[in-house]
Structure 1
Amino acid sequence: MVRNSTIPVYSLRRQMLRMSWNKYNLFNTTQRARIPNDANKTLYQQKWASKKDTRSYHGDQITERQWQSMFKTRLPTANTKVGGVEPHPPVFSLTFAEMERRLDFIVFRSNFAPSIYAARQLVGHGKVTVNGKPMPYPSHRVTDGDIIQVEPTSVSTLKKATPKEGDEESAAAKAPMEFIPKPFSQPFLFVPDYLEVNYNTCSTCFLRSPISRPGKTEIPSPFPPQMHALAYEFYARNRK
């Protein structure tokens, strides 16, 4: 599913959620907080609607053919003891887990870019390396233990400290960069468990694939597991 370029990304009418810190996206997220009432829809209509909504967030810039090549019917999970106190969330919430290995997703999840679109630009412009080597392909999928690094000067939330009056230019150039959060970004500033981020070096280690644990699901998503389950069933039944 590739987003229609003629429709605004953050349309307040359609309220399609995106991987972005944009203020309109935050508004749309608050408006879509409740599970939709699909009592009058057929099962297929529910699956299609869930597929459309979840894909608008999870990789709207990825074509259906690209996504079908990544989609796995067998979903990862963590081993759990029988009779645990906390309920185990549905593993269907990991439907889009394979996307989290993409380089542009990792740059965004690490909070180095304000949107998935900005993350793609950083990668495409050669501002990102994988294990010390330039990697200009946003679709590149990393392996466990890979180190992803972004040029600090390209991180939108890092700014050079304003030099004080009388400071030499050389001293000002060596001054550490300051973290200045963007407006409306606070609800999105967190790091999932499968990433280890070092903000001193603007680098991230991809530890492992996201998994489902008792009481939590690791992939950040504005949609409940029920919608992911319907989207999974849509793709599993229509897989070519």
Structure 2
Amino acid sequence: MSKRTSAKYKLDRRMGENIWGRPKSPVNKREYGPGQHGQRRKSKLSDFGVQLKAKQKLKGYYGDVTEKQFRKVYAEAVRMKGDTSQNLIGLLEQRLDMVIYRAKFAPTIFAARQIVNHGHIHVNGRKCNIASARIKPGDVIEVGPKGREMALILEATQSSEREAPEYVNVDGFAAQYVRVPTLDEVPYPVKMEPNLVVEFYSR
């Protein structure tokens, strides 16, 4: 399990964008960076800086996965047929914690990871507590009996903040992963540039 070592909204401030589209994000009030020098005029980023920022943004969006995990996913995306950037997004969207988040069983990706780690999720009828477990098209994900009574999950399912995408078919406390999405189908609140991430790693 990857552990968040700093406040998650610091990433929003550093990137200058509301990465998760949350109403509480500090970027909604102040678009400049954190700290006493945050309001200074931003210097123009180099090509490396632009690529690094794209990588940090994508990595942060998926719950701040570790660099080792992220690089491993990238290496697998390279080995697959087709567009590496599309493959990368497809693999990240197949993570169990992300499917839980997409199905609206959790308000944030971090909450989704916690729900999985605490054993509240069943995949095809079997309990699974590994957040990075890969979900395949056709798999059915369910919230366990105890999880269905949790206020966190109940509030998330009833929230109108976002909708479940077409590639996740939700029915009550169960959801079926229909297919691996393309980049255009993924409902990112901000623009993600996986092509720059590919450029970063292929230097």
The normalised TM-score by structure 2 is 0.75
Is the CA contact 1:75–1:92 (under 8 Å) kept in the aligned structure 2? no
Residues of 1 paired with 2:199 and 2:191: CA distance? 15
Is the CA contact 1:10–1:16 (under 8 Å) kept in the aligned structure 2? no
Equivalence map 1:164-183=2 (5 Å): 180-181=158-159
Match of residue 117 from structure 1: 110
The verdict on how the C-alpha distance between 1:137 and 1:28 changes in structure 2, with shifts beyond 3 A counting, is same
Helix, strand or coil at the partner of 1:96: helix
Residues of 2 paired with 1:76 and 1:17: CA distance? 30
Paired residue for 1:198, among 171, 176, 196?
A: 171
Helix, strand or coil at the partner of 1:223: coil
Task: Give the greater-gyration-radius structure (CA).
Answer: 1
CA RMSD of aligned residues (A): 3.2
Is the CA contact 2:115–2:121 (under 8 Å) kept in the aligned structure 1? yes
Which runs of 5 or more residues in structure 2 are unaligned?
A: 32-41
Match of residue 24 from structure 1: 24
Paired residue for 1:148, among 141, 144, 148?
A: 141
Helix, strand or coil at the partner of 2:111: helix
The verdict on how the C-alpha distance between 1:208 and 1:20 changes in structure 2, with shifts beyond 3 A counting, is same
- Structure with the bigger RCO (C-alpha within 8 Å, sep 6+) is 1
Helix, strand or coil at the partner of 1:231: helix
Moved over 6 A (4+): 29-32
Q: CA deviation at 1:66?
A: 1.1
The normalised TM-score by structure 1 is 0.64
Q: CA deviation at 1:228?
A: 2.9
Which runs of 5 or more residues in structure 1 are unaligned?
A: 33-37, 78-90, 160-178
Match of residue 222 from structure 1: 189
Residues of 2 paired with 1:134 and 1:191: CA distance? 23
Between the aligned residues of both structures, percent identity stands at 26
Q: CA deviation at 1:223?
A: 3.0
Helix, strand or coil at the partner of 1:24: coil
Is the CA contact 2:62–2:109 (under 8 Å) kept in the aligned structure 1? no
Is the CA contact 1:196–1:205 (under 8 Å) kept in the aligned structure 2? yes
Match of residue 7 from structure 2: 8
Q: How many residues align?
A: 184
Paired residue for 1:99, among 81, 89, 92?
A: 92
Is the CA contact 1:76–1:210 (under 8 Å) kept in the aligned structure 2? no
Match of residue 36 from structure 2: none
Q: CA deviation at 1:204?
A: 0.7
Per-residue CA deviation, residues 181-211 of structure 1 (Å, 9 max, x unaligned), is 3xxxx34x21122111112xx1110111112
Residues of 1 paired with 2:176 and 2:169: CA distance? 5
Instruction: Decide which structure has greater helix share.
Output: 2
The verdict on how the C-alpha distance between 1:3 and 1:51 changes in structure 2, with shifts beyond 3 A counting, is farther
The verdict on how the C-alpha distance between 1:58 and 1:117 changes in structure 2, with shifts beyond 3 A counting, is closer
Is the CA contact 1:47–1:234 (under 8 Å) kept in the aligned structure 2? yes
